[in-house]
Amino acid sequence: MATDVHAREQRLRKQAELQSLFLNLANLRKQEATYIEASAGLPEFLVRQITNCATRLERLKMNF
């Protein structure tokens, strides 16, 4: 029974992290679109943030 509770808590944490990552990725993509409209290039830090967020999201989805 304690194992079931632990597994459920772990699932809930992963779901919360997934939701947070999806929201973060959506916000980063909005920033990216806004920046592209304002200039010809994309700042390297934003590219890294988007890549890192997408990578974490994929890893988490694989382990879900």
Cα distance between residue 64 and residue 11, in whole Å? 8
Tokens 């994309």 belong to residue:
42
The closest alpha carbon to 61, from 23, 30, 21, 32, belongs to: 21
Tokens 């989805």 belong to residue:
61
Instruction: Note the pTM of the prediction, 2 decimals.
Output: 0.58
Let me know how many helices (H) and strands (E) the chain has, helices first: 2, 0
Enclosing domain of residue 20: 2-62
Residue 13: both structure tokens together: 């944490």
Give per-residue pLDDT as tens, 1-32.
678 888 899 999 999 999 999 999 999 988 88
Structural domains in the chain (count): 1
How many CA within 13 A on the CB side of residue 29?
A: 8
